[in-house]
Structure 1
Amino acid sequence: MKNSLISSLVVLALLSLSRVSFSLFCSNRNQDSATIVVDQSGHGQFTKVQQAIDFIPAMNSIWTHILVKPGIYKEKVIVPPNKPCIVLEGNSAHDTAIQWADSSEVVESATFTVNAENFKARNIKFQNTYNENTRRGDVSSIKPALAFETTADKVSFYQCAFTGVQDTLSDLQGRHYFESCYIEGAADFIWGGGQSFYQGCTINASAAILGGLAGFITAQGRKSETDTSGYVFNQCTVVGTGTVFLGRAYRQYSRVVFSKTYLSNVVVPKGWDPWKYIGREQTITYAENQCTGPGADMSKRVEWEKTLSRAELAWLTNVNTFVNQDGWLQKQPF
């Protein structure tokens, strides 16, 4: 306990330096960084993740590592806009999880919410278990229940897992990068207006819970021709149960691209759905590029699926041109 107290005081001293002057930029990678340990057994500074977030000073500009020891942390966590420069790290997504069960207002149901820029997570699972015990086919009882939500720019994830049933990952706004992550759900389980790149991720469509109805992987919400948002899935894997559409249009200019991705037979032959924009599909940008697997057969796809030019594909499927234009990924700690 004494050592934990001393460590807390050291961390507080480091973090207090960031109160003097705030910059939109975080300190260089691991230089001048601070570490906070969260451990349910009491061998860290805190036993709850939210306690660690609350401990970080407002307008923080020092990269702060929150190391979460193995366990299931049953709590709802919010990172407010004035607390940037955080790295959240678990032991692995198999043994370290933040879990809650809520289906209140859609954007308020999230187990974990990030509203601060320059946030990085790795080796941790985010779960919303609200719909966990839904009987197969009892669609009316399934509610929006978010595992994770972000409205911030420059947010990245490595070897993380996101599990839920409906609206699992609320990728709402800002530039985001996902690498080697696992994302599970049945209905619109990756949704919002984010500008995001999914690299080497596993997408598990657990649509069997819908009792014969097809689910939807994405519901992307691009609003206009000048809106730069969209979801790109590069070298990913789509598996699951039941059947699933690759996406449906959450907004008029919805944009989703699957590139060099393995599509299993869970993908419905039509591939895509215009939702409420029937007759206005010309503004929707849904495309596939060099995908493989039984679900990649495009012979029965919707007629309005886009064939992108080589230049368009080159821009969208390159992480550095689509989301990392200013090199923010390289500026985050390893």
Structure 2
Amino acid sequence: MDSLIPTIFFLFFFLGTISGAPYNEMKYDFQNYVSNTIMVDKSGRGNFTRVQQAIDSIPSNNSLWTRILINHGLYMEKVVIPRNKPYIILEGDPKHDTAIEYGDFGSVIDSPTFKLFADNFVARNIIFKNSYDRLITPGPNGRKTTWAPAASISGDKASFYHCAFISLQDTLSDDVGRHYYYDCFVEGAIDFIWGNGQSIYEKCQLRSVTDKIGVPGFITAQGRKGLKETSGYVFKDCYINGTGPIFLGRPYRNYSRVLFASTYMENIITPEGWSAWEKRSLNLITFSEVNCKGPGADMSHRVPWEKKLSDQEVAYLTNPAAFIDQEGWLGKQPN
């Protein structure tokens, strides 16, 4: 009889909630519960040997979180998470490198090593790499730089913790949706964070490798298309280093919006800071720096059309709860 008490209590509680207002809240809690864990191990000691196999095994339109644990090692494959596979956590080994790598090139659509289309996604301790730059050689007959993304992120409510994105050109296609990157590493030389995402990068390292291309490069190429669009890139408490010279960004579209706040910049940033790229209406672009430090943060020779944002605008853009986390989705993602 005593063993039935917990079961009876649970049924009483559950049935009571579905008849009243608390049901929606309880349902949402169940949606954020990790219902299944899958192990990927390249040596065969898990459920699958390839990451894509694990993703393919998840039922379409799943409504409960599935955690895919990836044992350390190098996984040479392309990985795609389609739109009908939400609520996935990709988690690598926190103590040893876990890398997903491929070397495709020539297309920002087809070449990314990792492509995310689904909403509600978390990645931790994963290196996403496009290895095409290894093939680049100097001289008229050598391989040239071209589009070679490490990752393309097109889902909403996606977060990345302690991840790395490595390539040379168009490294991270931060394409569309609300995204949060914490303590991540992004390496590239040409437009290595680009697209029309609505994203905050907090305590991230941005590493320039323009020595590989021999000309100035660009960290960002944000693609906001209109004044009413909420997209933009915000870099908060970040660190920029590597080789230079490199511009902080250039406008991919007319209403491009990028803010660097409280970011330390090594002496690799071009004096003008930003490039106009093509002939655009410069008054529509929102490129700004606030409270940045380091030798690369010298503002004395910046372009005259860089925006000076109000304290209220800076507070809004740098606050995740205001800019990207309006429904509190970040705090509700599983640990």
TM-score, length of structure 1 as denominator length = 0.89
Alignment pair present for 1:151 and 2:148: no
The percent of aligned pairs where both chains have the same amino acid is 52
Deviation at residue 277 of structure 1 after TM alignment: 3.1
- Report which of the two structures shows the higher radius of gyration computed on alpha carbons: 2
| Matches of 1:93 and 1:186, distance apart in 2 | 28
Deviation at residue 108 of structure 1 after TM alignment: 1.1
Q: What residue is the counterpart of 2:11 in the other structure?
A: none
Point out the more displaced range, 74-83 or 99-108.
99-108
Contact residue 63 and residue 85 of structure 1 kept, 8 A? yes
Give the secondary-structure state (helix, strand or coil) at the position aligned to 2:109: helix
Give the secondary-structure state (helix, strand or coil) at the position aligned to 1:52: helix
Q: What residue is the counterpart of 2:17 in the other structure?
A: none
Alignment pair present for 1:185 and 2:188: yes
| Matches of 2:154 and 2:29, distance apart in 1 | 18
Letter in 2 for 1:196: S
Deviation at residue 104 of structure 1 after TM alignment: 3.6
Contact residue 91 and residue 123 of structure 1 kept, 8 A? yes
Letter in 2 for 1:259: A
Candidates 113, 116, 119, aligned match of 1:114 = 116
Point out the more displaced range, 90-99 or 42-51.
90-99
Q: What residue is the counterpart of 1:69 in the other structure?
A: 71
Deviation at residue 132 of structure 1 after TM alignment: 1.8
| Matches of 1:126 and 1:154, distance apart in 2 | 19
TM-score, length of structure 2 as denominator length = 0.89
Q: What residue is the counterpart of 1:165 in the other structure?
A: 168
Contact residue 27 and residue 61 of structure 1 kept, 8 A? no
Deviation at residue 321 of structure 1 after TM alignment: 0.5
Contact residue 148 and residue 169 of structure 2 kept, 8 A? yes
Candidates 40, 44, 54, aligned match of 2:46 = 44
Alignment pair present for 1:206 and 2:209: yes
Contact residue 220 and residue 249 of structure 1 kept, 8 A? yes
Deviation at residue 96 of structure 1 after TM alignment: 0.6
Call closer, same or farther: CA 1:165–1:332 in 2, change over 3 Å: same
Call closer, same or farther: CA 1:277–1:93 in 2, change over 3 Å: farther
Contact residue 260 and residue 289 of structure 2 kept, 8 A? yes
Runs of 4+ in structure 1 deviating by more than 4 angstroms, as ranges, are 136-140
Deviation at residue 137 of structure 1 after TM alignment: 7.4
Q: What residue is the counterpart of 1:315 in the other structure?
A: 316
Give the secondary-structure state (helix, strand or coil) at the position aligned to 1:187: coil
Contact residue 199 and residue 324 of structure 2 kept, 8 A? yes
Contact residue 215 and residue 245 of structure 1 kept, 8 A? yes
Q: What residue is the counterpart of 2:104 in the other structure?
A: 102
| Matches of 1:133 and 1:32, distance apart in 2 | 41
Note the alpha carbon deviations across 1:203-262, whole angstroms, 9 max, x for none.
001111111x10000000000000100000000000011210000000000000000000
Give the secondary-structure state (helix, strand or coil) at the position aligned to 2:54: helix
Q: What residue is the counterpart of 1:230 in the other structure?
A: 232
RMSD across aligned positions (CA):
1.6
| Matches of 1:100 and 1:130, distance apart in 2 | 8
Letter in 1 for 2:74: I
Structure 2 stretches lacking a partner, 5+ long: 1-26
Letter in 2 for 1:324: D
| Matches of 1:250 and 1:26, distance apart in 2 | 39
Give the secondary-structure state (helix, strand or coil) at the position aligned to 2:37: strand
Letter in 2 for 1:297: D
Q: What residue is the counterpart of 1:14 in the other structure?
A: none
Letter in 1 for 2:35: S
Equivalent pairs counted in the alignment come to 308
